[in-house]
Chain A
């Protein structure tokens, strides 16, 4: 169970260009951090580096003493623009597959369906969903398969005002239950969070 996330002087290089260096951050259970920075500053790359999909050029990511491979395999969700949803499959098929793949059970899937109001969309193909509906489907696995660390890449952007508020409440509940959130955003998060600006050196509280 992940109860802490630390970045220690992390640096990431993409395509021969150093995106950022000396980035440090410390999050403990119940805390959220908003990751800000200009387009192309490396927010998505940082999230992918925390998830272990992109290698760090220097520095380290720590999960409170847990083995990184195990922590990443069972302890985090990464939700971004590339949601892995197949256009030709139905909402039900995709929600069911990804929730089971992440370790969720039927009861939790029902709960997530209710919380994100996916019921009326269940038999629609993913290609028929609007951007906001599709994002809600992607976010549903956060609830359907509970994992402590949420890595969110602009989670709010396609959501309307009502859903931003409701998702804010879900994030709040997650933090209250001992979760951690690291979210790349352009707009402020609707919850209390640290900020870490990429591009401006170092971490701010």
Chain B
């Protein structure tokens, strides 16, 4: 399994440098989180009510950044050929690529999420749940995002296409995660939404690589 280890190290390093890596993603995230109160108005009560949800949507959008490069660079420079010519199944290779993407951008975004939410006026005691939702939701975003990135291989302006393919796939995690956060903020039972979010992430991790590998094989042939 040393092969997968070296691949994960490479993918994380590449994702870290790709399109500015975590700094740009987190910066974009901070930008969106700052724009929201400017549009909605500065009253703390109104802001506090939407803070967790707003932070959550901004997170989904920030996860889209640099996603288009996940497979495209390797496709253009031939690395995908060499990754495919290996005893390692392409499905596993795709999964490791998404994991690298999550480590390099999803995890830093998850660390930024509670800060953004609290900055918008969320209560301090929400921090653990926001962090947990962002970490697990980030996995779902990375693995469903990988499907869009692989499907748009070879297309002109693949980045836009990736976003159009991926945004509908982001709907369930946004609903589940947003629901859990809203329930927690309102003092209602929140585990239901959280469990659904985790289930969606698990399904994305399990099934996403199958779709990605099929899309990659199609693009290569």
Task: Give the distance in Å from the alpha carbon of A55 to the alpha carbon of B218 in the complex.
Answer: 10
Report yes or no: A53 in contact with B221, Cβ–Cβ below 8 A: yes
Report yes or no: A84 in contact with B221, Cβ–Cβ below 8 A: no
Chain A's interface size range is: 20 to 34
| Cross-interface CB contact of B81 among A82, A89, A93, A96, cutoff 8 Å | A82
Report yes or no: A51 in contact with B79, Cβ–Cβ below 8 A: no
Report yes or no: A101 in contact with B83, Cβ–Cβ below 8 A: yes
Give 1 or 0 for each of A59-76: 1 = CB within 8 Å of chain B CB. 000000000001011101
Binds A, one of B84-92, B146-154, B163-171: B84-92
Report yes or no: B10 in contact with A84, Cβ–Cβ below 8 A: no
Binds A, one of B1-9, B123-131, B135-143: B1-9
Report yes or no: A86 in contact with B79, Cβ–Cβ below 8 A: yes
Give 1 or 0 for each of B88-108: 1 = CB within 8 Å of chain A CB. 100000000000000000000
Q: Is B27 interfacial (CB 8 A cutoff)?
A: no
Give 1 or 0 for each of B1-25: 1 = CB within 8 Å of chain A CB. 0110011011001100100000000
Beyond A70-B87, A100-B2, A101-B6, is A55–B221 a contact (Cβ under 8 Å)?
yes
Return chain A residues, CB-CB under 8 Å to B220. 53-54
Nearest opposing residue in chain B for A100, CB measure: B6
Report yes or no: B77 in contact with A85, Cβ–Cβ below 8 A: yes
Report the minimum CB–CB distance from A54 to chain B (whole Å). Answer: 5
Prevailing SS type, chain B contact patch: helix
Report yes or no: A83 in contact with B86, Cβ–Cβ below 8 A: no
Report yes or no: A72 in contact with B85, Cβ–Cβ below 8 A: yes
| Cross-interface CB contact of A78 among B7, B82, B87, B88, cutoff 8 Å | B82
Q: Is A102 interfacial (CB 8 A cutoff)?
A: yes
Nearest opposing residue in chain B for A74, CB measure: B87
Report yes or no: A84 in contact with B77, Cβ–Cβ below 8 A: yes
Return chain A residues, CB-CB under 8 Å to B76. 82
Nearest opposing residue in chain A for B10, CB measure: A97
Nearest opposing residue in chain A for B18, CB measure: A88
Return chain B residues, CB-CB under 8 Å to A55. 221
Return chain B residues, CB-CB under 8 Å to A86. 14, 73, 77, 79
Task: Give the distance in Å from the alpha carbon of A1 to the alpha carbon of B62 in the complex.
Answer: 47
Report yes or no: B17 in contact with A88, Cβ–Cβ below 8 A: yes
Report yes or no: B2 in contact with A73, Cβ–Cβ below 8 A: no
Return chain B residues, CB-CB under 8 Å to A74. 86-87
Q: Is B42 interfacial (CB 8 A cutoff)?
A: no
Report the minimum CB–CB distance from A160 to chain B (whole Å). Answer: 23
Task: Give the distance in Å from the alpha carbon of A85 to the alpha carbon of B86 in the complex.
Answer: 17
Beyond A74-B87, A86-B14, is A101–B77 a contact (Cβ under 8 Å)?
no
Report yes or no: B85 in contact with A84, Cβ–Cβ below 8 A: no
Report yes or no: B14 in contact with A100, Cβ–Cβ below 8 A: no
Task: Give the distance in Å from the alpha carbon of A126 to the alpha carbon of B74 in the complex.
Answer: 15
Task: Give the distance in Å from the alpha carbon of A100 to the alpha carbon of B9 in the complex.
Answer: 12
Report yes or no: B79 in contact with A84, Cβ–Cβ below 8 A: yes
Return chain A residues, CB-CB under 8 Å to B191. none
Q: Is A163 interfacial (CB 8 A cutoff)?
A: no
Task: Give the distance in Å from the alpha carbon of A86 to the alpha carbon of B81 in the complex.
Answer: 14
* 13 A-B contact pairs sorted by A residue (CB < 8 Å): A48-B81, A51-B85, A52-B85, A53-B85, A76-B85, A82-B77, A84-B78, A84-B83, A85-B79, A86-B73, A97-B10, A98-B82, A101-B3
Extra contacts, 12 of them, besides A86-B73, A88-B17 (Cβ < 8 A), are: A52-B85, A72-B85, A74-B86, A82-B77, A84-B74, A84-B82, A86-B14, A93-B10, A97-B6, A101-B3, A101-B82, A101-B83
- Which 9 pairs show the lowest CB-CB distances between chains A and B? A82-B78, A84-B79, A73-B87, A84-B78, A100-B6, A84-B82, A74-B87, A97-B10, A53-B220
